[in-house]
Amino acid sequence: MKIVEANKFHTDIIIEMLLKYKHETPVKVFAEYGNVEFVKKVLAHIFAGRGVALLAFKDEVPAGLLIGFIDQSIWDPELCILKELAYWVNVEFRGTSAAYRLLSKYNESAKLLLDTGRIQQWTISKMVNSPDLDYTKFGFSKVEETFSQGI
């Protein structure tokens, strides 16, 4: 399993996986909404340095992705946080090292952003239908739970 930092040439691969992600998520309204042009704009910002986009490949076949966006905190514009937007592994690659390697590389990338002063914190979230991964093994601390209506 190989993890690469995605660039604009990976846009179609990312969008294909994001479409699978949005149809499998427990947030049902995601299936009703979709604006690929907006996704492309968000990805362009990420590729330009406003976040992290990682892809896992197994023998040149896309296996998964982890995308995070740098956002400012409500408390101070100088407080920037890398927030995970999507963490997905294609069905046929679940149970492989893809998820572990993506998360490890995400942490590595975030640590570099932290060390260079670009961010002060980073996050990862877990959907209710996600595998029961122990994110504390990767250094994360549980700080909140999110509840939703209208799904």
**Burial class of residue 42, CB neighbours in 10 A (0-12, 13-18, 19+):** middle
**Burial class of residue 106, CB neighbours in 10 A (0-12, 13-18, 19+):** buried
The single-letter DSSP state of residue 59 is T
What is the reported pLDDT for 151? 56
**Phi-psi region for residue 74, left (φ > 0), alpha (ψ -120 to 50) or beta?**
alpha
Would you list the domain boundaries of the chain? 2-138
3-state secondary structure at position 120 = coil
- Quote the pTM value: 0.90
- Per-residue pLDDT tens listing for the chain (151 residues): 999 999 999 999 999 999 998 888 777 777 777 789 999 999 999 999 999 999 999 999 999 999 999 999 999 999 999 999 999 999 999 999 999 999 999 999 999 999 999 999 999 987 766 667 788 888 888 888 777 777 5
What gap in Å lies between CA 112 and CA 103, rounded to an integer? 14
3-state secondary structure at position 86 = strand
What is the reported pLDDT for 129? 65
- Do residues 122 and 114 make contact, with C-beta atoms less than 8 angstroms apart? yes
What gap in Å lies between CA 133 and CA 115, rounded to an integer? 26
- Do residues 6 and 68 make contact, with C-beta atoms less than 8 angstroms apart? no
DSSP structure string for 2-24: EEEE--GGGHHHHHHHHHHHHHH
Q: Does domain 2-138 have CATH number 3.40.630.30?
A: yes
Element (H, E) at 38: helix 36-45
What is the reported pLDDT for 128? 62
CB atoms within 10 A of CB 124: 18
CB atoms within 10 A of CB 46: 21
What is the reported pLDDT for 26? 75
